[in-house]
Each structure stands twice: as structure tokens, then as C-alpha cells.
Structure 1
Amino acid sequence: MTDVLFLRSDELADLGTAAEYVDWVREGYASHGNSGSAEPRTKLVSGDPPGMCTGYLAILPEVGGMGGYTYAAGFGDEDVHLALPLFDAESGRMVAMLDGASMNPFKTGAVGALGVDELAREDASTCAVIGSGTQARGQLRAAATVRDFETVRVYSPTEENREAFAETFDERLDADVSAADSSGDAIADADVVITATKASDPVFHDHELPDGAHVTAVGQYDRGKQEIPPETVARATYVPDLRERALQDAGAFLHALDGGLIDEDHVHAELGEVVAGHEPGRTSDDEITVFDSGGTGIETVAAAWYLYQRADEQGLGEPIEFTPGSQAWTDE
């Protein structure tokens, strides 16, 4: 039998700060850029009952871990449960099983912030956030650890939601955080724009985006999700988390491709190639940059590996037994 450490979500909740998650995810993308491997998610869709089952995989040799992330959504359930098996990248031994609920917004925010850190201007001080849900909150919380924002403007179609978001972060951050009446007002003169919505159509107009801005888009995980304008993709230095994912399900990129605004070579580099120093990020103050974050196993495995190590050091978790496959074979 093999002892595997089961870690509950509540045990993981306070094991890492937003800044630490960014550091962990940075190491994951550097590992991927140098010697790792990852695939875009596999998504299986059911029509009756409606729902999807999806999963991600990554091997990160320089971090030390490998594994994946799987969950189902829909199918009559009113929620989602995030299961994360973690393996040692050298021995192949399964070392942990994590309940990924509490880490999910942190690791997703961290990769968005990493995109900001690699592609936004160093002197970026004004941030616009479009969206006010859990993902938007995680994105801003993490982005504020890599740039010293002085002004943050948030827009969400529901006034009550954007006002509540602004009030929360005005108390939490050193920046002046306020609600905007429109997405155009939010992104006016913005150095960094974060879009974290479920929108099927662009949430701002391309002509409203200032020269020199960086956009981190986290809601473009399906062909039907076109959170940013295809014209913005076309004029930007475009960096996705994975090149293959951009061609599979990055909505605005595919819309720009279908419309003849770009070709497949428009992908400047994967994020890991930029983080590892193999490709440049921003090269001028006036260029538009876009980081398209649709979710990969890279940030998931990287964050999980460091959480597992920290939990193990603190004696957290409960050992559970897994039967090795070799013991399942008999001559009977």
C-alpha cells in the first residue's frame, strides 16, 4: 500500500499569501518554459443532463511535481468539487490528494498577476477591473502584489456589485479604488486592464484602450467567450498561457483568426517562454500587450506542490492508502 496525504481545503486556506502564490506560479511557468510539459484542458460535454467534466495535466521537473486537476460542473449538481492528485516528478509516486477549493482563486489570480508582471510597464499605476466576482477579486488581489497601483476602477453591469467590490478593495489596498459607470470609464488611461467575466461579447471597445496598456483576460476559455475585442488581439503582443490552448478555445483569438485579422503565427510566445527568458515580453512603452489566461495544469501543479510541502512540514493532512497497480494483478 502507498500512503498518500489527503489535504482538506480548510487546511490549505492559510498556507500561502497572494504574493507567495505568484512566486510559486512563476517557478511553475519557468519550469514549463525550460523543460516541462503541459496540455490544454480536456473538456467532455454532456447534453442530457447538461454539464461538463474537465481536466488539466502538467509535468514540472524543476518544481518537482506533476499531476492534474479535474472537476465536473452541471449534471444537476449546484456546485463544483475540485480534485487534485499530485505526484513526485522524479519517482512518479503519488504523494498527495488535494481538495482544490480554497487554492483555486489564489492560483488563478497568481497566473494573471504573473502576466501583469511580465508584460505590463514597470511604472503601471492605474488598474481597471471589469468583473466583480470571485475571479475578479482574486485577480486584483494578486496583481496588487506585483505593481504599486495608485488608482483602481472597477466596472460590473450591476451597480450594487461594483460598489461593493470597490468598497472592499478601497479598504484592503493602498490604492484609491472606485466604481466606474461604464467599462469605457474604467479603462480610460488605464495601464493595466483585468477582465474576469463570463461575457460572450467584448466587454470594452478597442478604441477605448489606451496605447501602452496591458490586458490580462481570464474569461476566454471557450470559442463562444469573446471577452476582449478581436481588434485588440490583432494589434497586441499576444501571449497565451499555452499556444495550443489559444488555438483550441481562446475565444477572442479564434474570433480574430476566423475574421482574417490574424493568422496562427500571431502568438508572440507562451507565458512560460517569456518567464524563462527565451522570448521577450514587452519591448516598448506604447505597445499593447495581452495575456490570455484560460487555465492550465501549470499554475495548479506548481501551487499544489508548494502547498503540499508546507502542509507536510506542519504535520497537516491525513494519510490515506492507495493500492499500487502492481498489487492489483493476480494469477487467479
Structure 2
Amino acid sequence: MKTSNVNPSSSAAAGAPLFVSSETAAAVFQWLPAVRVLQETYARAFGPHAVPRRTIAAGAAERASLRTMTAVPPGSRYYGAKLMGMAFGQEGRQLEYVVVLFDATTGSLAAILDGNLVTAYRTAATSAAALDHLAPQGGARLAVLGSGLEARMHTLAIAAVRELQEIRVYSPTPAKRAAFADGIGAELGVHVRVFDSAAEAVGGADIVLAAARSYGEKPILQGAWLEPHATVVSIGSTLPDQREVDSSVVARAELIVCDNVEEVLEESGDMLAARQAGIEPDRKCFSLNDLMCGKVKRTNGEGGVAMYKSVGSGLQDVVVAGMILDLARSAGLATPLPIQFEPKRIG
């Protein structure tokens, strides 16, 4: 890599890579377009190597790790990767995300994006994309287990595809759940009720969002609490040592849609625990591609519990980051980088 002394305007004209900050991403992001572009992408045919499994490199002595998630989404203008670096320093653990996009028509570096908000946006938008095909049409009562960033993002995303008649909130800290309820209620103009237990919040809900892994990795959602027609969205158990939903939820689900079936079955603590409990989730787990293509549908009309289980995917990062990049470029908010890469010509 070599630096360039050209000014930003001439750099942009020469096709220099762009940088998109989280502040810019927040300024241009739109929920429904993100949901739709994900649905369109997941409805296309996938090659066997389009979305490889994530890789994790770790150094014990260095107390550092690097997670890499790559994708070449079918039909997309961009391909690329998200990198997540984590290290333990004097002030504790720190994470940083970056999404790197390449132009599929030229192979040139197109942009670098701060991946923090992109990660939250893509997770919630993909959940809403799945929910839009799983949950019955019409108004819905949403139970939210959690009060952090993912809980807020998912509530906003779900509100983009369903009319929420009521939001029912539980999280372990009373002050946090009250603040979440006040904020999300004002933002969406929806009646919000706060509960002192997860069971009370879930009872009577059409859609249940599990977005708060408990302390000690104990499940926060039990199958017995769910209404017979409930649709569950679970996003918090992405590694073998993490738990979010009880095995009874997996047992009750007639259909489980996964953003990455292999990783959900082999790396999610919830599914590993269900298998240890004698439940075989494999036979009822299907991919988002199957759902979007119409190969699988909710089999029992509006009855029977369905679940969307997410571990995250580089495809989601690339697709949503690409949408954000295009919006930022159109708004004049993407920052040209004063650098050029020397390409290697082959053939």
C-alpha cells in the first residue's frame, strides 16, 4: 500500500476507497430497504463457497483473538469481510469491528466501514427479514427479553415489518428495562408494558425476542411460557458456551430457520444442549435461503411455534454495509481515503 498526496475531491474522482463512520451509517441507514435487500439476496441461488464458515484465530499469551467472516453474496455489487478484533488490556476487554468491501466488477477495494453499528443493523434486519416470512400478517404483540442495543435495534426492525399493538418488556435490571420502555415507546408511538419476570412478559405475546443472555449462561426463555402460535427470534447464543433459550423451546418449535444451519447446529450452545437433552433439532432446521425461496413454510398455518435462530453471517455484513455505502456515497457523506493500492495483474 502506498499513500497519495491528492486532495479528497480528486481522490474521489480517481476511484479512491471510501471510509464510512458509524456516525454516517446512523445518518443514512433505513430499516425496510435493509430488510428487503437481505430478503432478495437470500432468495438467490448460492454457490458452495459463497459464504464460508467464520474463522477465529486466538493467541493465549497475547489474550487476543480475531474473528473473520467473509462472503461473496450472489447478485451483489460488493463482496468482502468483517473482521472483529478483541484483546484484553489494562482497562478490560475491548472489541472493534471493521467491514472491508471490494467492488465485484473490478476487484478493487471499494470501502472500509466502522462495523460496530453495521453489526447491530444487519443482525436485526436479518431477523426481521426472516420474521416477515414466519409470523402471521397483521398486528402483533411483541415480548422483548433484554434492554440493550440489540433489543432496541430488533424492536425497530420488527416494527418495520409488522404493526406492533403492544410491546412487553423484561430485563434483569429494573432501571434499564424502564428506560428502554420509555425510549422505545416514545420512538415508535406504541404502548409498552414493563414486567418483573420473563414469563409474564412472554405470556400473551405473538412474537418473542430473546436478546439478553443471562448471567451464568442460564436460559432466559422457557418453552412452557410460549403461546401456541408464537414466533421466537433468538440471537444471543452464538458459541458453544453460550445459552439463551431453554431446550424446551427447541422441542416446541415445529420449524427452526437458521441464518447458517451448520454453525447453529454445531456451535450454538442452545442447540448443543438440546441434543444432549435428547432433542434432535437437525430434522426441523432449515436455511434462510430455503425460507426465502419458498422451499419451506410454516407448516401449520398460524398455529405451531416457529423460531428464527441467528449466529450471524458475513453475508449479512457485506449486504447491509454495501447498502449503507451506496446511501452514504449518494448523500456525499462517505470520506475518500488518500490512499491507492497497487493491483497485481494476472494473465
Output the TM-score relative to the length of structure 2. Answer: 0.87
Is structure 2 residue 251 aligned with structure 1 residue 251? no
> C-alpha displacement at 1:115, in angstroms?
2.1
Q: Which residue identity is paired with 2:112?
A: M
> C-alpha displacement at 1:293, in angstroms?
1.0
Secondary structure of residue in 2 paired with 1:103: helix
- 8 Å CA contact retained: 2:100, 2:112: yes
Q: Distance in 2 between matches of 1:314 and 1:102?
A: 18
Q: Distance in 1 between matches of 2:56 and 2:35?
A: 26
Deviations 1:24-70 (A, max 9, x none): 32233234658982133222344344343212111112122211101
Secondary structure of residue in 2 paired with 1:153: strand
Secondary structure of residue in 2 paired with 1:295: coil
Matches within 5 A, 1:72-221: 72-76=85-89, 78-199=93-214, 200-221=217-238
Partner in structure 1 of residue 28 of structure 2: 15
Partner in structure 1 of residue 10 of structure 2: none
Is structure 2 residue 336 aligned with structure 1 residue 318? yes
Shifted more, 151-160 versus 248-257: the winner is 248-257
Q: Distance in 2 between matches of 1:283 and 1:68?
A: 38
Q: Distance in 1 between matches of 2:234 and 2:160?
A: 18
**Gaps in structure 1 of 5+ consecutive residues:** 328-332
> C-alpha displacement at 1:325, in angstroms?
5.0
Q: Distance in 2 between matches of 1:91 and 1:276?
A: 29
Shifted more, 86-95 versus 127-136: the winner is 86-95
> C-alpha displacement at 1:112, in angstroms?
1.5
Tell me how many residue pairs correspond in the alignment: 326
Q: Which residue identity is paired with 1:60?
A: P
Q: Distance in 2 between matches of 1:299 and 1:263?
A: 24
- 8 Å CA contact retained: 1:33, 1:276: no
Matches within 5 A, 1:60-79: 60-76=73-89, 78-79=93-94
Secondary structure of residue in 2 paired with 1:107: helix
> C-alpha displacement at 1:317, in angstroms?
1.6
Q: Distance in 2 between matches of 1:153 and 1:263?
A: 28
1:43 corresponds, among 51, 56, 61, to 56
Q: 1:51 to 1:265 in 2, by over 3 A?
A: farther
Deviations 1:119-152 (A, max 9, x none): 1121351100001111111111111111111111
- 8 Å CA contact retained: 1:120, 1:282: no
- 8 Å CA contact retained: 1:128, 1:186: yes
Secondary structure of residue in 2 paired with 1:28: helix
Q: Which residue identity is paired with 2:35?
A: V
Matches within 5 A, 1:27-38: 27-31=40-44, 37-38=50-51
Shifted more, 138-147 versus 231-240: the winner is 231-240
Secondary structure of residue in 2 paired with 1:285: coil
Secondary structure of residue in 1 paired with 2:328: helix
Q: Distance in 1 between matches of 2:139 and 2:269?
A: 27
> C-alpha displacement at 1:92, in angstroms?
2.6
Partner in structure 1 of residue 8 of structure 2: none
Shifted more, 224-233 versus 32-41: the winner is 32-41
Q: Distance in 2 between matches of 1:162 and 1:234?
A: 29
Q: 1:122 to 1:97 in 2, by over 3 A?
A: same
Is structure 2 residue 287 aligned with structure 1 residue 270? yes
**Gaps in structure 2 of 5+ consecutive residues:** 3-14
1:227 corresponds, among 244, 247, 267, to 244
Aligned CA RMSD, in angstroms, stands at 2.2
> C-alpha displacement at 1:282, in angstroms?
5.3
Q: Distance in 1 between matches of 2:46 and 2:162?
A: 23
Q: 1:137 to 1:282 in 2, by over 3 A?
A: farther
Percent identical pairs in the alignment equals: 27
Q: Distance in 1 between matches of 2:185 and 2:191?
A: 6
Q: Distance in 2 between matches of 1:310 and 1:35?
A: 30
Q: Which residue identity is paired with 1:292?
A: K
Shifted more, 183-192 versus 222-231: the winner is 222-231
